[in-house]
Amino acid sequence: MSFYGKVIFFEKSLWSFYREKDKIIGKGLKVGGNMAQILYLNVGKPELRTWDGKQERSAIGKKSVTQAFLSKESFHGDGVAATEFHGGSDRAVCFYPAEHYSKWSDEFGKELAPPTFGENISSSGMLESDIYIGDTYKLGEAVIQVTQGRIPCSKISKNNEIDRLLKRVVETGYTGYFFRVLQEGIVLKDSEIIFLERKQNDFSILRANEIYFHQRKDYQAIGELLEIDELAEDWRKNLKKLLMQKN
C-alpha cells in the first residue's frame, strides 16, 4: 500500500472512532456538529525581506493555495525561519481568527487582511475564547489538535507596518494558536473544520495566554495548566521555569 493509501486508511478509521463517540462534550459541543469553514489556506517558504533598511529571513509572507498536504511537521510548501516561535510537530499549523482583522483595521485605521499575520489557516467562529488546549478537529482528511497560543514576534508589526501591533496582540491575547497533526492528509481551501473532542474545559487559549503573558506569578494556575497532557512541549518547558521561581 502506498503512503498516500495509508493516510486515507487511517483517516477513515480515526474519523469513525470519533463519530461513534457522538456525544455532547463541554459547552454544548457535539462531535461532528460544530463546524467552521476555511476562509484562507496559506503556505510559504522563508525568504529575505527588507524592513527598516535591514534584511531578515521570514516566512510570514504566505500565499493562498487551493490545496496542500498536511504532514506531521507542516503543510507541504510551508516553512519557518524563526524556529524559536514557529515550527516543529507541536506547531505544525498556525491559525488566526478572521474576525481580528477587522478589529485591527478599525483600531489602526489601516486595512489588514489574511494572511498578513503569517497564518496557515484563517476562519471565523474560532476565537481564542472559544478554543481550548487539547481540542481536536477534522480538517479535510487530516485530524489536528490545539497545543498552545501563538507567541507573536516582531515580524507581525514589521509585515503590517504598525509599530504597536505586536504590543496590542499580546495585550489582548488575540494571538492565534497552533495545532499538532494527529493524522496526515490533504486539506482543500474550502475544507470544513469539524469539532471532534474536548479534553478539558478550564483553559481556553485566551485564558492560557493571560497566564503565559500577564499572570506569570499565578503559580496555582500555572501548575494546573501544566497538568494538561496535550500542552505543547515548548510552553511546558517555559511554564516550568516560571514555576521554579516560586521558591
Query: Would residue 232 count as lying in a domain?
Result: no
Q: Is residue 187 part of a domain?
A: yes
Q: How does pLDDT run across 101-125, given as a tens digit for each residue?
A: 999 999 999 999 999 999 999 999 9
Closest CA to 137 of 78, 93, 73: 93
CATH code for position 47: 2.40.33.20
Polymer length of the chain: 247
Answer whether residue 187 shows pLDDT above 60.
yes
pLDDT of residue 85: 81
Please report whether residue 171 resides in a domain.
yes
Assign 234 to helix, strand or coil. Answer: helix
Count of the separate structural domains present in the chain? 1
CB 75 within 8 A of CB 69: yes
Has residue 96 been placed in a domain?
yes
Residue 207 lies inside a defined structural domain of this protein: no
Tell me if 243 is assigned to some domain. no
Residue 10 lies in a domain: yes
Residue 221: alpha-carbon gap to chain centroid: 22
Is residue 239 a contact partner of residue 226, using CB atoms and an 8 Å limit?
yes
Domain region containing 157: 3-200
pLDDT digits (tens, 9 = 90+) for 193-215: 999 999 999 999 999 999 999 99
Q: Is the pTM of this model over 0.85?
A: yes
CB burial readout 83-99, b (16+ within 10 A) else e? eebbbbebbbbbbbbbe
pLDDT number for residue 30: 58
β strands within 98-231, DSSP E: 121-123, 136-139, 142-149, 177-183, 185-188, 192-197
β-pair partners for 123: 97
Residue 58 lies in a domain: yes
